[in-house]
Amino acid sequence: MNVVYNVRDYGAAGDGRTLDTAAIQAAIDAAGAQASRENKSLVILPEGTYLTSSLFLKSHMEFRMERGAVLLGTTEEEAYPILPNRVAGIEMEWPVGILNILGQQDVAVTGEGMIDGQGPYWWNKYWGEDGTGGMRREYDPRGLRWCVDYDCRRVRNLVVMESQKIELKGFGSVRSGFWNIHVCYSEQVHVDGLWIRDNAGPSTDGIDIDSSRNVLVENCRVACNDDSICVKSGRDADGLRVNRVCEDVVIQNCEILTGCGVTLGSETSGGIRNVTIRNLKYHNTDCGFRIKSARTRGGVMEDILVENLDMVNVHYIFNLCLNWHPAYSYCRIPEDYTGEIPKHWKVLAEQVPEEQGIPQVKNLTIRNINAWNEPDYKGPSRAFEIDAFPEKPMTGIRLEHVKIQAGEFGRVSGVKDWQWEDVNISIAHRNEEANDVYDVR
């Protein structure tokens, strides 16, 4: 690195009140103009709180948030550009993130600082201060649960799209308005040592890997209110049209705290393959390993290895449901709806041929699992919640060296030729009906 660009030198105040977007972007642009493969530029965000809207990093650049530096997303919605995106599995116009790497190469985001999305503003917009208001109160009674997430337009903390050779290392991501870290249509991405926390709002996924290749996620701690780390590949007709697989993904050596666990889906239309999930420690997590999809998604999930997981107080140890959350998954414009129909509603509601829409799971190996509850744990505890379609049952599923102590065995359907080797399951009592329903908010 030959030249260092300090955002303070370009007029950034860092006082948490002044909008610093233009000053920080000026530093980024100056660094980008001089950067090359041989001489990578360094942009420094020193200690301070920098109120900002969307920032756009350039190729051959490191953006370092030093200890005590906070990139604070503004709650002025009009300040965020609306650009072509993929969000929750469909391509549409949507706000980009607070920090963005779009169509770039050889970019690093590092340091001990953090991105703060000021989530409560966006969460209240979606479901109100008490979780029963906001746009959900307006949309749900009208049969529009399936589109409210798209219409609400909540901002993500960091977006990587159509980029290569990307490193995200060491920083924190807190209070994201929507997903925290979204990696989409990208290759050779290394996510290392992130601390994702303080995400009590809806759809605050930790790390989403979306139709990307050669991605390594390691040494992260994740606490959120939705999928902790998630592998995706598009939704329904639009995902089938794009047809971009998510493949060659490794998730390892992470700590999974509050949230919905490590997940494949629900956007599975482009297919998911060659995924390794290993050496994870869970504590008080809703799910351990999870797959979710729907009858309109399609796609094949194959060659998946899940190994060396320690789970403490996990509510649903294995939650593999291919008919997940019908009110969200199945999109239908009500016949009595009046008014202009947005383009993305039409995309979501486009019909998928029945045979093409049924997702498949095959060649899944789960081994070296130890799951148990602490003596004072009083929450749900279910070993299996597995529900696939009988027309295309899950095949090639192997459990090896698995030890589970749980309150309930759970339910299993739609699995063909399930193979067990050295599986020890201790169950305390019968299934409780209240635990049959999970994640339908």
Structure token digits, residue 163: 């980029």
User: Does 160 have pLDDT greater than 60?
Assistant: yes
Confidence (pLDDT) at 92: 98
Output the average pLDDT for the chain. 97
Q: What is the mean pLDDT of residues 141-165?
A: 97
Which residues are CB-contacts of 49 (< 8 A; sequence separation ≥ 6)? 14, 15, 16, 70, 72
User: Does 25 have pLDDT greater than 80?
Assistant: yes
Q: Which pLDDT tens digit goes with each residue over 72-100?
A: 999 999 999 999 999 999 999 999 999 99
Confidence (pLDDT) at 1: 52
Q: How confident is the model at residue 339 (pLDDT cuts 50, 70, 90)?
A: confident
Question: Is the pTM value of this prediction over 0.95?
Answer: yes
Q: Which pLDDT tens digit goes with each residue over 202-258?
A: 999 999 999 999 999 999 999 999 999 999 999 999 999 999 999 999 999 999 999
Which residues are CB-contacts of 338 (< 8 A; sequence separation ≥ 6)? none
Q: Which pLDDT tens digit goes with each residue over 305-331?
A: 999 999 999 999 999 999 999 999 999
Q: Which pLDDT tens digit goes with each residue over 342-373?
A: 999 999 999 999 999 999 999 999 999 999 99
Residue listed under structure tokens 């991501």? 173
User: Does 441 have pLDDT greater than 80?
Assistant: no
**How far apart are alpha carbons 74 and 130 in whole angstroms?**
22
**How far apart are alpha carbons 168 and 218 in whole angstroms?**
11
